[in-house]
Structure 1
Amino acid sequence: MAEAQSQEDSTNEEEAEQPPTTTPAQSQEALPGAETETTLSSESNVTSIETSVNAEVKILPIIHSGESQIVETQLHEGSAHEEEAETQPSAPASRQQDPFAGLEKAFTFVRQKGGSVLMQCNYCLPVIKNVSSAVNSATNLRKHLEKAHPEKLGASENAGKGKKRGFFEELLDEDDDPPSIKMLKQQQQQQATLERWGSGKEQITQKILDRKIMDFIVDETLPLHTVDRPSFVGLVRLGLPKCLTIMCSKTLRDSIEKRAASMRERLLRRLGAVEHVATTADCWTYGKRRFLGVTAHWINPTTLEREFGALACKRLKGRPTYEALATTLCKVYKKYKIHSKVVCTTTDNGFNFVKAFRFFETKEPADAADSSTDDNVDDESDSDSDEDNDHRHEEEETDDEEMEVEFVPISEMLNAGNKAKDDTEDSGDFGLPPHQQCASHTLNLVATQEVQAMVTDSSSNSPLGLFRKHFCSLMGKCSKLWSKQEQSEQIAEYIHKQYGVYLMVPDKTRWHSTFEALKQLNELLSSMPLKLDTVMDQCSLARITTAESLVLQEYTEVMGPLAQALDILQQDNGMFMGYLLPTLYNLDRKLQSLEKEPSRYTYCLPLLKGIRKALRKRFAHIWEDKKLLLAACLHPRFKVDWLESAQNSHTNRCMMETLLKAEIRGTVEEAGDRSSEKDPEGASLEDEFFNIPPREKTPAEEDSVDEEVTRYLRSPSREVSLLHAFPRVMQSFLQYNTGMPSSAAIEQLFSTGSKVMTVKRHSLSDELFEQLVLLRQNRAVF
């Protein structure tokens, strides 16, 4: 057995070509797991020793005291190279001072080529500065620091004293990776630069960082204390130089106040550059807080495009009475210096808004003569708009009665009188601009309250009896179907599998969304009736009957023109007051054309007649409004051509052309009077001394105005840009079309407010809350 083992060992030695052996003492010094052989190339600046039969040099790394040491051993099998072997150290060699020690923070390794390395200076960032140096010398690097960053040189030298192992040498130890891995590491290292900011060439300053953080907090409506969270700070600090700091919530609050003030100044400059401004206003309640929102809208005289800005989101303390609304509106107008520029304020049909403008509106003499008639119409229409109007009115009367019998000291009466006087002076004597009721809100009332009233008042034997029966049953089934899809994920997926889409779930506060949901359901029922039955069975609901299906079809056809009118009036861009009357007249015309075909309807003909009657009643005070007629004719899309479709209008095409010419002549004369008022008083005295009579307008000038109006009306173009060719017409267009027919813009302001006013934000002051809402609402404008 021993002989066999000996033979096997000798065979292995021959196959290995007599590998060198180590002494027992040397083998004990090598720890388990350490490499037994390491060959260093000439690029690593270590001389490799070729092995021979007589003697070989092996480099054994030894793990000792946490550092890697190199032990060189010699194996003697002959005496041919004894002198050479004696020159090699037999004890562990001590490491020399690393030339790059202390420069870790100053330079970043880029690449190595032969005996030189390329280093990037960290102190020169964002400018990329590469310095070339020898592998075993850092002279060039220190010279660069001495020349470009002398204040950093001392710190680098102190940090490198006594350090034996530098960062560059550690990089060399990892040089055993394949070329593909090296390239990947280099690419990852290059991608770790500041290219994530903009184009990568933008220099990051503290001002830019603060602005980006503020934009993020405001746009995403996040709590201010987000900037204090360690996770947020750690995320933002990635890739940033240490000299930049993340602002705290207190600094963010101060920055928001400064930006809000700057935004207000820019808004003031824009409003100061236009002559006519329109506003929208509405009240909003969140919890126990009430706010008054105000937005401004104007037409850019250069581009003739609609522009807007959010002016206020004021906290209303106490009940939102008509006096409080009027006072707050006047203060907002005075703050932005637009009190004399507002052509109208558009609100909903709320009782307090209507009453505020009724009492404090600054009426023109012509309007004041007809105030009694308008008030009666407004009372009738407004009484149906809010459910609690009568209740609130009784509360106000009760409060007045209690105040009559209450004894108040004379000092309090004097103080109250002085305060009321100050408030009156600050608000400009409570002079409010003309009031424009929101047309979209009125159309919603026609589609909801008027229809509900007709259905409720109808009996089983009335013309609406069958419609009421089937329509109520249909809405009950649809509501349950929508709820099933919202509550069950399985039902939702089943519906999507059957139709390829999900059912639209309406918002109960918006009739238009309910109509769109019913319209979608009618289309699915018409195209795939069997699938709808399957869906109803899957939801364990009663199927939609044939009568209910017919009611759904007729309802969507009758209410379709009204929904289309709402879409037009609620446009975000390109909406002018001139759209109102053409929209209403054509809506009435479409309903009239449907009414002329009674055979088409089995259930909804009484509904159609009732809707048309309610429409005429709700808008009775504006069908022949002179300003609205002029606004429509001054818009290039309509001119006077739309009057042909207004069959019920008492104003024909010829009358409107005459009215339009007279109005533009008056506007031109008024502009001339305003320019003459700017002349000094000395000019009139000199005219009197020299006996110079005042200049009267010549017939040729009047003819030029009429000619311009005629050319405008005959122009085939329907674009708003056409007005640039008719300056007198454009001046009147800006005056009559600046107003807004709908207050839909104010809903966006309150949508922003609801996002800002979260549970975590109840500690916000009223001023800071308003600043956050306005900054986010105006972010796309300023």
Structure 2
Amino acid sequence: MDYEPLTKREREGMRYFANIAQPGYTPPCYSTVRDTLMPHALLELENKLQNLLQNCNGLSVALDIWTSRRGHSFLGIVGSIIDENFQGHTVLLSCEHIQGHHTAKHIYEKYEEVLRRWNVQRGVIRVVTDSASNMVKAFNLPSFSEFGDQLDQDVGDGETEVDAPNVALLQLHADQLAIQLNMMVEHYVTKSNLHLRCPIHLLQLAIKDAIAKHGPINSIFNKVGKVVKTVRKSTLNTEDIDKLGVRPTTACATRWNSQLRMIESVLKMFEKDTLWQNRLTSITDDRKITCNDVLILQGLVRVLTPFAELTDSLQKELGNLGMILPAVAEIYRMMSGVSSDTPLEIAAFVETLAENFSTRYERFYDDTHVILAALLDPRFKNEWIARDEKVQGKQIEIRELLVRQTELVCSVNKKLTSPSLVADPVTVLESDPEVPDPVPSSAKKVKSMFQSYATVRHSSSTTLDVKGEVEQYLEMPRLNTEVDILCFWKENSTVLPQLSQIARRIFSVPSGSASVERVFSIAGLMSSNNRMCLAPATLQKLVFLKVNSALEIQL
């Protein structure tokens, strides 16, 4: 019923069904739903979301633009939060109807309007978007400053008359200003920008450019796509291929991994029957996939599978920001392992792909959050530093960066929250090497790309201050790739109370803008061909209710 028209409740068959399912129950009419039930549900959900936003340690935002079937454009703004229990929340702040040209200024104005509506404009840690020129420009405008809003926090407009200066408040503002200035000069190793380009989109562009640069590879992709199209457009061909038990998958231009799935489905058809193309109608010999093409397709699958695993991992809601930098070194390791008998077309493609990937991900080596996320990820810790030539020899600098950033975050939290919320340094007993890793919240298949990180080391005892917590954490065993990051930090929040604060803050940054795409998928189902008269304002409300309905269960 979530995706059905509101008027469906008034249909005779629906009322009959409801009366059979629940005798005596009469579904509310359209007017009651629109004018009474929906506003009440919206108000209740907005209050719950407001409480969650005001009590969060940090908010990260993902944005994107989508156009409905009727031609209406919407700006999706999704917030990511990790609460004090280390439970991740992905909430929809607004699916805002945006009219007119999608200029950078217009996008930024809508973004600011939504943040002011929720009173969270000073609590945003990062903003994640794709690499579209209007998005990049929107968050490079002079008004979009990393430190400006934070420096203005609680200062007021300077026109309020007071009887006497509040010394404690003035000292608090002075301390905040000193902290922010320290953060600005902190970047002797890295710099941190509020705007984060979506790593998934950058990966899409890297693969797309590599395919476009190699004519033979591009030709094979086009040939496979035409063969699949021939199968799916003909009922006779479809009936014949169905006998193989394999359904060829079509590719989507905006999702490169759909091209990989298309290739895999075609290779499965060759495994079932090598002569299946001979039975197709309306296909000439020059358009058929040859044996040499099959060898190249098999090579492409081997090359692109690690990128598909990385894409799937980054599309998870929260907790995978630390995977970005280890992935760069791991991809290079796997690309350098191409065997000598690999076809020349594949070898040249691999070289270009690795170069494109490295070039587009180079920006993340200058990103404080991404670097610290890799260090705070218990699957990688400082092991990725030793493996990555770009940061080898900087272990001490990166470790000191983590210490200073943790001290800054803890200092702000101590001044802006109750002192009881910040635990005192504690002494940790020596870790038992026989204790198993924390059980992951959901079992996932081990990703082969990070299989080499399976070896772990054991820890020793340390009395912890901030620096001691960092040392103790790095000495603790590295965990396998199945572990849930948030589960680990929740279980160690009493052992590593100060590190857990910055971990909670950093891992609230999503590793991509996939959460906004999921919102648009829901909006697309709601604005189907059966609901073409749905007003933009009504669609905006329905999407908000549907996406945030999980809050009813989580809170």
- Judge same fold: TM > 0.5, yes or no: yes
Please list, as runs of the form range in 1=range in 2, the aligned pairs for 1:522-561 lying within 5 A after superposition.
Answer: 522-525=267-270, 527-528=271-272, 531-539=273-281, 541=283, 542=285, 543-561=288-306
Query: Whose relative contact order is higher, 1 or 2, with alpha carbons under 8 Å and at least 6 apart?
Result: 2
Distance 1:236 1:671, change over 3 A: closer
How far is 1:733 from its partner? Answer: 0.5
How many Å separate the matches in 2 of 1:673 and 1:633?
Answer: 26
How many Å separate the matches in 2 of 1:362 and 1:486?
Answer: 51
How many Å separate the matches in 2 of 1:237 and 1:706?
Answer: 66
Which has more radius of gyration?
Answer: 1
1:163-189 Cα distance to aligned partner (Å, 9 max, x none): xxxxxxxxxxxxxxxxxxxxxxxxxxx
How far is 1:648 from its partner? Answer: 2.9
Structure 1 residue aligned with 2:397: 655
Counting matched residue pairs gives: 461
Distance 1:669 1:538, change over 3 A: closer
Structure 2 residue aligned with 1:723: 492
Distance 1:514 1:437, change over 3 A: same
Judge conservation of contact 1:474–1:548 (CA < 8 Å) in 2: yes
Distance 1:238 1:355, change over 3 A: same
Does residue 295 of structure 2 align to residue 590 of structure 1?
no
How far is 1:673 from its partner? Answer: 4.3
Judge conservation of contact 1:291–1:315 (CA < 8 Å) in 2: yes
Distance 1:367 1:676, change over 3 A: closer
Judge conservation of contact 2:130–2:201 (CA < 8 Å) in 1: yes
Structure 1 residue aligned with 2:194: 434
Of residues 277, 281, 305, the one that matches 2:59 is 277
How far is 1:259 from its partner? Answer: 0.7
Distance 1:239 1:631, change over 3 A: closer
1:528-557 Cα distance to aligned partner (Å, 9 max, x none): 5xx232334434533422322222122222
How many Å separate the matches in 2 of 1:615 and 1:239?
Answer: 56
Distance 1:571 1:246, change over 3 A: closer
Judge conservation of contact 1:436–1:741 (CA < 8 Å) in 2: no
Structure 1 residue aligned with 2:139: 357
Q: RMSD of the TM alignment (CA)?
A: 3.0
1:5-50 Cα distance to aligned partner (Å, 9 max, x none): xxxxxxxxxxxxxxxxxxxxxxxxxxxxxxxxxxxxxxxxxxxxxx
Query: 3-state SS of the aligned residue for 1:532?
Result: coil
Instruction: Give 2:27's aligned amino acid.
Output: I
Judge conservation of contact 1:279–1:346 (CA < 8 Å) in 2: yes
Distance 1:238 1:673, change over 3 A: closer
Structure 2 residue aligned with 1:710: 471
Query: 3-state SS of the aligned residue for 1:309?
Result: strand
Query: 3-state SS of the aligned residue for 1:235?
Result: helix
Structure 2 residue aligned with 1:164: none
Please list, as runs of the form range in 1=range in 2, the aligned pairs for 1:229-244 lying within 5 A after superposition.
Answer: 229-238=11-20, 244=25
Of residues 68, 90, 96, the one that matches 1:308 is 90
Structure 2 residue aligned with 1:137: none
Please list, as runs of the form range in 1=range in 2, the aligned pairs for 1:118-197 lying within 5 A after superposition.
Answer: none
Query: 3-state SS of the aligned residue for 2:380?
Result: coil
Does residue 259 of structure 2 align to residue 514 of structure 1?
yes
How many Å separate the matches in 2 of 1:299 and 1:627?
Answer: 15
Judge conservation of contact 1:518–1:556 (CA < 8 Å) in 2: yes
Q: Please, which moves more after superposition, 725-734 or 620-629? A: 620-629
How many Å separate the matches in 1 of 2:77 and 2:340?
Answer: 46
How many Å separate the matches in 1 of 2:279 and 2:183?
Answer: 61
How far is 1:599 from its partner? Answer: 4.6
How far is 1:657 from its partner? Answer: 2.8
Query: 3-state SS of the aligned residue for 2:549?
Result: coil
Please list, as runs of the form range in 1=range in 2, the aligned pairs for 1:725-744 lying within 5 A after superposition.
Answer: 725-744=495-514
Please list, as runs of the form range in 1=range in 2, the aligned pairs for 1:447-462 lying within 5 A after superposition.
Answer: 447-452=207-212, 454-455=213-214
How far is 1:437 from its partner? Answer: 0.6
Judge conservation of contact 1:293–1:746 (CA < 8 Å) in 2: yes
| Aligned-residue identity in percent | 22
How many Å separate the matches in 1 of 2:542 and 2:517?
Answer: 16
Judge conservation of contact 2:386–2:392 (CA < 8 Å) in 1: no
How far is 1:234 from its partner? Answer: 2.4
How many Å separate the matches in 2 of 1:660 and 1:367?
Answer: 12
Of residues 215, 219, 242, the one that matches 1:496 is 242
Instruction: Give 1:298's aligned amino acid.
Output: I
Structure 1 gaps of 5+ residues are 1-215, 376-432, 456-467, 679-696
Query: 3-state SS of the aligned residue for 1:237?
Result: helix
1:687-713 Cα distance to aligned partner (Å, 9 max, x none): xxxxxxxxxx9xxx9963222222211
Query: 3-state SS of the aligned residue for 1:506?
Result: coil
How many Å separate the matches in 2 of 1:294 and 1:757?
Answer: 19
Structure 2 residue aligned with 1:251: 32
How far is 1:240 from its partner? Answer: 5.1
Judge conservation of contact 1:277–1:341 (CA < 8 Å) in 2: yes
How far is 1:313 from its partner? Answer: 0.8
Query: 3-state SS of the aligned residue for 1:295?
Result: strand
Structure 2 residue aligned with 1:293: 76
Structure 1 residue aligned with 2:314: 569
How far is 1:225 from its partner? Answer: 1.4
Distance 1:262 1:577, change over 3 A: same
How many Å separate the matches in 2 of 1:612 and 1:580?
Answer: 15
Of residues 634, 653, 656, the one that matches 2:376 is 634
How many Å separate the matches in 1 of 2:21 and 2:512?
Answer: 49
Query: 3-state SS of the aligned residue for 1:292?
Result: strand
Distance 1:667 1:367, change over 3 A: closer
How far is 1:349 from its partner? Answer: 0.6
Structure 2 residue aligned with 1:664: 406
Does residue 521 of structure 2 align to residue 751 of structure 1?
yes
Instruction: Give 2:329's aligned amino acid.
Output: Y
Instruction: Give 1:247's aligned amino acid.
Output: P
Instruction: Give 2:389's aligned amino acid.
Output: Q
Judge conservation of contact 1:640–1:656 (CA < 8 Å) in 2: no
Distance 1:237 1:533, change over 3 A: same
Distance 1:716 1:361, change over 3 A: same
How many Å separate the matches in 2 of 1:663 and 1:440?
Answer: 27
Does residue 323 of structure 2 align to residue 579 of structure 1?
yes
Query: 3-state SS of the aligned residue for 2:102?
Result: coil
How far is 1:598 from its partner? Answer: 4.8
Judge conservation of contact 2:246–2:265 (CA < 8 Å) in 1: no
